[in-house]
Amino acid sequence: MKFNNSPIGIFDSGLGGLTVFKEIRNILPSEDLIYFGDTARVPYGNKSKETIIKYSSEILEFLSVKGVKIVIAACNTSSSLALDDLRKKAAIPVFGVIEPGAKKAVRVSPSGNIAVIGTAATIKSRAYSTAINKEISFLTIDKNLKTNNHTKIIEKACPLFVPLVEEGIINEEITKSIIKYYLSSLIAEKPSCLVLGCTHYPILKGLISAELGRDTEIIDSGVETAKAVKYYLEENNMLKKENKNGSELFFVSDDIDKFKELGGKFLKRPIENVYLTDGIK
């Protein structure tokens, strides 16, 4: 296929999608990657569906012009509210992060309570509940896995997590207190697993896990999305043919210095090749 050596496009409202970028890089070291962080308009989680579709569509167009072979909406808010629109507009495959996370949750906890945390927009959309229930129905019909029809899905909006991560306020006591505040009601439900329904949240994974305890497995949608993307590229003969390390380009809509500083903490290495673009207004 002629698109073999074209790059993979990844976007998010800001820095959070770098957790997905990191997993894609780990599992597909030879692929060229282009990342767009909409740092001028973060966060998306408190915006209307119409606005999120507009922003996501603009970024899709930007990445398409860059010649990417697939696009990953590494943003749960975009995945929950804009994915169908993006797929209708795009001439290339568009992946979200919700379906892979939902599938993993059902396989981890086919008969227990499943908790999901995310932005207000993601939780309000009930995208995870829909995806999880769809997967439960599929597995029940397929008879590969026995499921409990009474599985309870507990969703909780945690709107302060994104700004805390974006500002680099990670290990301070205020962050721990906010995590405790948000998760207290979930702990009472004794979930078997908890889905991190926002790509910013893996940065807080250690603190979240400590609050929930060992009996609750944490599911990172970014990890599951990376696996799904690799499988798709393999099945469709779209993997890059060269074995050398892939290139990386980063674009932001505002504040390169902050992106490089905090983004380096996300990836645990320096970020180079970061450009400010006026292609997104």
Q: Which residues are catalytic?
A: 75, 198
Give the SS3 label for residue 5.
Answer: coil
The whole-angstrom separation of Cα 267 and Cα 263 is: 6
Q: Which of 51, 44, 94 is CA-nearest to residue 228?
A: 94
- What is the DSSP pairing of strand 248-252 with strand 33-37? parallel
Q: What is the CA radius of gyration of the chain?
A: 18
Contact by Cβ (8 Å): 14, 38: yes
Contact by Cβ (8 Å): 127, 153: no
* 253: amino acid identity, one letter: S
The whole-angstrom separation of Cα 93 and Cα 97 is: 13
Contact by Cβ (8 Å): 73, 24: no
Q: Which of 114, 105, 36, 25 is CA-nearest to residue 75?
A: 36
The whole-angstrom separation of Cα 14 and Cα 119 is: 14
